[in-house]
């Protein structure tokens, strides 16, 4: 039995198939952990959702910002952007089942036995693992309940810039979502910069890549996607960057959680 963490697929179905063949994936024995952004930008979001859903418990998929964007469009609180490639999902005969499955995915997956945690963008250094999981569950409970549309109505926005335990919805839910699904740069106090998206060497003054602020010897190994400009490089011994820009024509990456062996397919 093996577990593999896979970076942002973003509708690149052929690359996903290639990668599953390369790791000799057997859903009877193995698991894949997919770091969110299952859809959008690539050409076959529908096929990706159908495949991952069909794998049942063998595929542990978390939510990324593109997945939340798809759900917001489906709930009528957002219109599609010109670069979106989501029409195949939104017009599919099985869209209700697929979107319901997607909406019930978590924001964080934590395996205590393997001492590993999967998140889309990252875990800010101002939160412990326990706190991050608790806050993620706050958002998940709204997403999976009767107030999901209200959540999507207020989900978009860059403020508040920082976490404060006294925050109340919708600001509280928005900033939790931004840390977990959009974060790249933040300050030592936890203030987010959600506009900068490029090379870490070009980070704004007073800011750092979020992972450089994490404890160098954490109790859990973090796997994350979201930041294609890193191309899989992260200067932290216990944090692994998975997004290698598949939807931009680069590669789709899987990492064996136990051995740390890396596998890639061209996109």
Mean pLDDT of 246-251: 91
First to last CA, the chain: 27
- Interval 208-233: pLDDT, tens: 999 999 987 778 999 999 999 999 99
Calculate the dihedral angle through the C-alpha atoms of 67, 42, 230, 16, rounding to the nearest 10 degrees. 90
Radius of gyration, CA atoms only, the chain: 17
Rounded mean pLDDT of the chain? 96
On the question of pLDDT at 202 being above 90, the answer is: no
pLDDT score recorded for residue 235: 84
Dihedral angle sign, alpha carbons of residues 16, 4, 127, 190 = negative
HSE-CB at 254 with a 13 A cutoff on CA atoms is: 24
Per the structure block, which two tokens stand in for 219? 């109790």
pTM of the model: 0.96
Other C-beta atoms closer than 10 Å to the C-beta of 102 total 22
124-144 burial, b at 16+ Cβ within 10 Å, e below that, comes to bbbbebeebbebbeebbebbe
Alpha helices in the chain (DSSP H): 13-22, 45-54, 65-74, 87-90, 95-103, 129-143, 148-155, 171-181
| Torsion angles phi and psi, residue 119, rounded to 5 | -145, 155
Round to whole Å and give the CA distance between 111 and 147: 29
Report the SS3 class of residue 176: helix
On the question of pLDDT at 61 being above 80, the answer is: yes
Report the SS3 class of residue 22: helix
- Interval 11-24: pLDDT, tens: 999 999 999 999 99
How many angstroms separate the Cα of 192 from the Cα of each of 179, 196, 208, 232, 237?
8, 10, 10, 22, 23
What residue ranges define each of the domains in the chain, with the CATH number in brackets?
Answer: 3-266 (3.60.21.10)
- Interval 154-198: pLDDT, tens: 999 999 999 999 999 999 999 999 999 999 999 999 999 999 988
| Torsion angles phi and psi, residue 110, rounded to 5 | -125, 125
Round to whole Å and give the CA distance between 187 and 102: 32
pLDDT score recorded for residue 216: 78
On the question of pLDDT at 114 being above 80, the answer is: yes
């Amino acid at each position: 039995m093996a577990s593999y963490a896979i970076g942002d697929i973003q509708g690149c179905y052929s690359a996903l198939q290639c990668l599953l063949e390369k790791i000799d994936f057997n859903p009877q024995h193995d698991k894949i952990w997919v770091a969110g952004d299952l859809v959008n930008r690539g050409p076959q979001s529908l096929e990706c959702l159908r495949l991952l859903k069909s794998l049942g418990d063998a595929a542990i998929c978390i939510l990324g910002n593109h997945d939340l964007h798809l759900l917001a469009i489906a709930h009528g609180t957002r219109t599609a952007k010109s670069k979106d490639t989501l029409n195949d999902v939104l017009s599919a005969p099985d869209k209700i089942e697929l979107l319901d499955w997607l909406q019930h995915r978590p924001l964080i997956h934590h395996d205590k036995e393997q001492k590993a945690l999967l998140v889309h963008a990252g875990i800010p250094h101002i939160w412990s693992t326990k706190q991050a999981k608790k806050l993620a569950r706050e958002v998940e409970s709204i997403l999976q309940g009767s107030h999901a549309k209200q959540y999507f109505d207020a989900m978009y926005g860059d403020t508040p810039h920082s976490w404060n335990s006294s925050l109340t919805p919708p600001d509280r839910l928005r900033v939790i979502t931004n840390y977990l699904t959009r974060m790249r740069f933040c300050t030592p106090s936890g203030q987010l910069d959600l506009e900068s998206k490029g090379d870490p060497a070009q980070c704004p003054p007073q800011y750092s890549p979020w992972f450089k602020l994490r404890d160098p010897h954490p109790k859990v190994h973090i796997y994350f996607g979201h930041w294609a400009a890193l191309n899989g490089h992260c200067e932290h011994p216990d944090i692994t960057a998975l997004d290698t820009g598949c939807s931009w024509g680069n590669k789709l990456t899987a990492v064996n959680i136990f051995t740390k062996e890396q596998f890639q397919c061209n996109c």
